Chain A
Amino acid sequence: GTKIVYERNFLLNLRNSP
């Protein structure tokens, strides 16, 4: 299957999501 890859900035943007 496809590997689930996340960019650094994408991860950081989710830091304070509700």
Chain B
Amino acid sequence: NENVSMDYSIKHPLQNCWTLWYFENDRNQSWEKNQREIASFDTVEDFWSLYNHIKPASELKQGTDYSLFKKGIRPMWEDAANKKGGRWLISLEKKQRTNDLDRYWLDIILCLIGEAFENSDEVCGAVVNIRYKGDKIGVWTGDASKGAAVLEIGRKLKERLHISNRITIGYEVHKDTMDKTGSSSKYSYSV
């Protein structure tokens, strides 16, 4: 940029306060109890001091998740802020854990905390699932019926992650996922 000197005594405030969650599957406890809040932050500097000292997603154990949600929204479908919503789903191939996973997850976080989406009010949070069969990243929005907003977020996501136009990503409505009985069509939107 230009020759702007930074005043490091002032932290840069974020539009929203965000909470990082960690999920680890302990069968002796309920699913909800296995979701643990790690920390919340509302400045750029506090975000980095958290991010710089936690493990990157690619080094987590299989079966675990990180979730980053606006403070007050729990990373689950049942939360009032999520129950009418859905998620843009990015399914990664196994080999992408080494190539793309950490870059995608960080770029998604930067989109969230930097309010990169025009319709960022619609964004609830994002989840990364570390799984043997292939990792997944979801960007959760609060109202699946707001098609224009959902599509804007999906398009911006693809652009920011440099996902090729040959690859299509889909948006799943949480309610459909919950009610899923067979292999009926999965995605309500795709970009």
Contacts and interface: CB of A to CB of B under 8 A. Distances in A.
Interface of A: 3-8, 10-12, 14-18
B15 A14 contact: no
B48 A15 contact: yes
Nearest to B14: A4
Contact of A17 (B6, B13, B15): B6
B120 interface: yes
Contacts of B45: 14, 17
Interface stretch (B89-97, B109-117, B123-131, B182-190): B109-117
A12 B110 contact: yes
Given A14-B48, A17-B6, A17-B45, A6 B113 contact: yes
Contacts of A16: 48
B98 interface: no
A18 B44 CA distance: 12
Contacts of A8: 107, 110-111, 114, 116, 160
A7 B44 CA distance: 12
B116 A5 contact: yes
A8 B162 CA distance: 13
Nearest to B12: A14
Given A14-B12, A17-B8, A5 B48 contact: no
B52 interface: yes
A16 B6 CA distance: 13
22 contacts: A3-B120, A4-B14, A4-B115, A5-B15, A5-B114, A6-B12, A6-B14, A6-B114, A6-B115, A8-B110, A8-B160, A10-B1, A10-B114, A11-B114, A14-B12, A14-B48, A15-B48, A15-B52, A16-B48, A17-B8, A17-B48, A18-B8
